[in-house]
């Protein structure tokens, strides 16, 4: 359990819907989930503010993220929970969780283990810059993905 979030609900986990029972609102119920039960999530480096990646969470992923203190996403392509860093070791230690004004976007402040968030071996997923009508890769690969993921 991370310090910023005391999550043990004082009521049955079957309490869903209105988000309130006995005057206690479940913070997860306050989120406006998509029809697919997801919420978009931005991960930002807590140190220098670099935006590292963008992904999705379902309710369970966000709950686990807050409880365990590292980012857990919902992989839409694999259709399962994805503990960021489970294969690469590049965990994201969560320092802060924020919600936007419409209650439908999350931003995490994280400490990026290994300094690499992207599956391409770059620090950030946002390494393509629009220049003169073309997307140009403007950041180096820090570590070869084959090395990271053991395919080499």
Contacting positions for a second copy (CB under 8 A): 4-7, 9, 25, 27, 30, 40, 42, 44, 48-51, 53-54, 66, 96-103, 105, 107, 118-120, 122, 125-135
> What's the rounded Cα separation, in Å, for the pair 9 and 1?
13
Name beta bridge partners: 107: 42, 98
Kindly state the smallest distance separating residue 115's Cβ from a second copy, in Å: 16
For a second copy, the closer CB: 29 or 113: 29
For a second copy, the closer CB: 9 or 114: 9
Rounded to whole angstroms, the maximal C-alpha distance in the chain is 58
For a second copy, the closer CB: 15 or 105: 105
For a second copy, the closer CB: 133 or 152: 133
Kindly state the smallest distance separating residue 89's Cβ from a second copy, in Å: 19
Kindly state the smallest distance separating residue 37's Cβ from a second copy, in Å: 17
Q: Using CB atoms within 10 A of its CB, is residue 44 exposed (0-12), middle (13-18) or buried (19+)?
A: buried
Dihedral pair phi/psi, residue 149, rounded to 5°: -100, 5
Q: Which of 46, 44, 42, 67 is nearest to 56 (CA)?
A: 42
- C-alpha distances in Å from residue 73, one per residue of 14, 83, 103, 151: 22, 6, 18, 23
Q: Length of the chain, please?
A: 152
For a second copy, the closer CB: 78 or 134: 134
Kindly state the smallest distance separating residue 29's Cβ from a second copy, in Å: 11
Kindly state the smallest distance separating residue 83's Cβ from a second copy, in Å: 19
């Amino acid at each position: 359990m991370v310090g910023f979030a005391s999550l043990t609900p004082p009521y049955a986990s079957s309490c869903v819907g209105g988000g309130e029972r006995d005057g206690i609102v479940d913070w997860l119920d306050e989120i406006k989930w998509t029809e697919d039960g997801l919420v978009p999530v931005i991960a930002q480096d807590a140190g220098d503010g670099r935006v590292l990646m963008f992904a999705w969470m379902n309710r369970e992923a966000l709950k686990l993220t807050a409880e365990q203190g590292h980012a857990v996403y919902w992989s839409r392509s694999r259709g399962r929970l994805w503990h960021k860093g489970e294969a690469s070791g590049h965990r994201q230690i969560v320092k802060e969780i924020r919600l936007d004004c419409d209650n439908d976007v999350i931003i995490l402040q994280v400490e990026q283990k290994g300094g690499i968030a992207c599956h391409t071996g770059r620090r950030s997923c946002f390494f393509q810059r629009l220049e003169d009508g073309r997307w140009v890769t403007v950041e180096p690969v820090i570590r070869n993905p084959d090395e990271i993921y053991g395919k080499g």
